[in-house]
Structure 1
Amino acid sequence: MKFTVPIEPKAQMRARHAVRGRHAMAYKDKKQEQAEDTLNTFLIQSRPDEPMIGPLMLRVKAYLPIPKSKTKKFKAGALAGKIRPTVKPDMDNLLKMIKDCMTQMRYWEDDKQVVEYLPGTGKYYSDRPRWEIELKPWVPDMALLSEVA
């Protein structure tokens, strides 16, 4: 399955901590909750009827906006794919965000089922910020299986 989520990619934020009375607690920041709700609104439209089972492969392309302060030359290079984002958010937190939301939306039982990232997973620049997501079952390489047998 392949689909596009037409919103600016946001990274998973760290949990906030507080002490209420004599109890410590962890909670999500309001901005994190809002970002998850927005992402889930789009994810629910593409989710499978039943959660996928078994090992899975995932491709996540996070297209970030090109900073307005950059030169025309930089923007042209970014749009051509010659310049890639090396700024925050980091890829780990972007993947965490998408995987947590896909777990909430029941694309799979648990994100531990993702055993491999497909080529192309990464951060890119675009004048149309978005997520491009592909999810498919993992299939063992038949050449490798014949070597084991």
Structure 2
Amino acid sequence: MQFFIPMQPPTTTHNAKQLHAFMRGGKPCAVLHDSPELKATRAKLHAYLAPYAPPTPCSGPVRLLVKWLFPTDGRHNDGEWRTTKPDTDNLEKALKDEMTRLHFWRDDAFVCSEVIEKFWADTPGIFIKVVEL
């Protein structure tokens, strides 16, 4: 399966967490929670991915190809590699989490091969290809 989602790709990554510190039984504790920005990113990805969710999840190994296409900014040309943040591995976490929630596969551990690229593009969006291996 492959599809293109025309959208402004989110730049908030799974690293956008908030630390909540508290005392439990007289000892300091801390818990990380998703920031409001990360929650909004997850909701946006979920809404855009939902129409492409397969009727049944992949049940074996999967190759995931993702091309993140960020809007050109006047300094970069269409198709030029994007070498600025966010990092591809950080972009990928929220995307794979939402694809797991939408049952593209039973668990993201099934993603055994990944090709992740990011470019500047005149038409921004996310190209996704899922191949059962």
Q: How many pairs does the alignment contain?
A: 127
2:39 pairs with 1:33? yes
Asked if the contact 1:9–1:94 (Cα under 8 Å) also holds between the matched residues in 2, the reply is: no
Partner deviation per Cα, 1:47-75 (whole Å, 9 max, x = no partner): 0111111100111000012224x2xxxx4
Give the structure with the larger helix fraction. Answer: 1
**Mapping of 1:1-149 within 5 angstroms?**
1-11=1-11, 12-14=13-15, 15-22=17-24, 23-68=29-74, 70=75, 75=76, 78-79=77-78, 81=79, 83-118=80-115, 121-138=116-133
Q: CA RMSD of the aligned region, Å?
A: 1.6
TM-score (norm 2): 0.87
Distance in 2 separating the partners of 1:4 and 1:21:
47
CA contact (8 A) 1:18 1:24 kept: yes
Deviation of 1:21 (Å): 4.4
Q: Whole-Å Cα distance in 2 between the matches of residues 94 and 28 of structure 1?
A: 15
On the 8 A contact 2:14/2:91 being kept in 1, the answer is no
> Is the CA contact 1:63–1:130 (under 8 Å) kept in the aligned structure 2?
yes
Q: After superposition, give the CA deviation of every residue in 1:88-121 in whole Å (9 maximum; x if it has no partner).
A: 0111111212111111111111111111125xx3
Task: Name the CA distance, whole Å, in 1 between partners of 2:10 and 2:34.
Answer: 14
Greater C-alpha radius of gyration: 1
C-alpha distance in structure 2 between counterparts of 1:67 and 1:29, whole Å? 27
Please list every run of 5 or more consecutive structure 1 residues that lacks an aligned counterpart in the other structure. Answer: 139-149
TM-score normalised according to structure 1 size: 0.78
Is this contact kept in 1: 2:14–2:93, CA < 8 A?
A: no
Query: What is the deviation of 1:131?
Result: 0.4
Which is strand-richer, 1 or 2?
A: 2
